[in-house]
């Protein structure tokens, strides 16, 4: 009786151990690749799966998108400028069987191929292209990685340049270039403003010549603007040349009146002086 009980207990333990070794749980985001006696048996979908203990081996492969940072690389651009460029890649296993059979470590392989591809692509561009055409560089890197990783059952979904470090001397040179560019634009805008102002003043002068009263109205407007400051200075604006002519005419009349109506520098006849003395 005791022997029977021992046999039953041992059998139950063996069955339980067999179930433990045979039962596998595959998560929703995974696929199980099963090898039976070293040969590929197939892929198992998510859920509760049974395998043959000691004969089957299951490798679980994640189908989620993986983020792979690409460490900073020292790269010399096409115009011989040394830059440090880092990036980030996103990839996803689309064929679990290939990812197990074709390559030993998918993550390490993609990290290495991404670094070499980054150096290769950026080195074919100049510094200005690297800074301005990042979308094109990202697309080129992604296409090269896709062509390589397709045989591994992996799809690269996205590649983005993350950081571009420039030498200090190049940063100063770019700052001077940007400053010179802004000064050029400021001078061009100032010159365009002067040109428009000169054209407007020319049109205004033509209008004032055609309508003399317009100049007087403008003078009155200037007096109003000066009077806003509440100062004691009174300014009468007038055209310069006409003012000078009127001043000369006024002085001439005053000299003529002072000399008895004769032009200055002309003396009276001597006979007139003698007759005036005898009287």
Burial (CB count within 10 angstroms: exposed 0-12, middle 13-18, buried 19+), residue 119: middle
Chain segment 166-196, per-residue pLDDT in tens: 888 887 888 888 888 888 999 999 999 988 9
Q: Has residue 264 got a pLDDT over 70?
A: no
Q: Which of 29-38, 148-157, 185-194, 235-244 has the lowest mean pLDDT?
A: 235-244
User: What percent of the chain lies above the pLDDT cut of 70?
Assistant: 83
Question: Which pLDDT band, with edges at 50, 70 and 90, does 114 fall under?
Answer: very high
Q: Has residue 87 got a pLDDT over 90?
A: yes
Chain segment 25-50, per-residue pLDDT in tens: 889 999 999 998 889 888 889 988 88
pLDDT at res. 142: 92
pLDDT at res. 241: 53
Question: Which pLDDT band, with edges at 50, 70 and 90, does 117 fall under?
Answer: very high
């Amino acid at each position: 009786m005791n022997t029977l009980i021992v046999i039953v207990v041992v059998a139950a333990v063996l069955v339980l151990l067999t179930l433990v070794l045979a039962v596998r749980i595959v998560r929703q985001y995974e696929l199980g690749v099963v090898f039976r006696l070293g040969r590929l048996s197939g892929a198992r979908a998510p859920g509760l799966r049974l395998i043959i203990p000691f004969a089957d081996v299951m490798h679980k492969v994640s189908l989620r998108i993986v983020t792979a940072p690409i460490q900073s690389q020292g790269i010399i651009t096409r115009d011989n400028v040394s830059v440090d460029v880092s990036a980030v890649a996103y990839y996803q296993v689309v064929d679990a069987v290939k990812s197990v059979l074709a390559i030993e470590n998918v993550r390490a392989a993609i990290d290495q191929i991404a670094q070499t591809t980054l150096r290769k692509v950026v080195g074919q561009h100049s510094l200005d292209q690297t800074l301005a055409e990042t979308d094109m560089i990202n697309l080129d890197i992604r296409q090269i990685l896709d062509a390589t990783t397709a045989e591994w059952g992996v799809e690269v979904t996205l590649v983005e340049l993350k950081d571009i470090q420039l030498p200090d001397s190049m940063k100063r040179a770019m700052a001077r270039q940007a400053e010179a560019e802004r000064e050029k634009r400021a001078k061009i805008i100032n010159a365009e403003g002067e040109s428009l102002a000169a054209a407007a003043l020319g049109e205004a002068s033509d209008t004032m010549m055609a309508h003399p009263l317009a100049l007087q109205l403008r003078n009155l407007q200037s007096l109003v603007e000066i009077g806003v400051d509440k100062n004691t200075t009174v300014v009468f604006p007038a055209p310069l040349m006409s003012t000078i002519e009127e001043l000369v005419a006024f002085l001439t009349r005053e000299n003529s009146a002072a000399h008895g109506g004769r032009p200055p520098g002309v003396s009276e006849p001597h006979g007139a002086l003698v007759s005036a003395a005898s009287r």
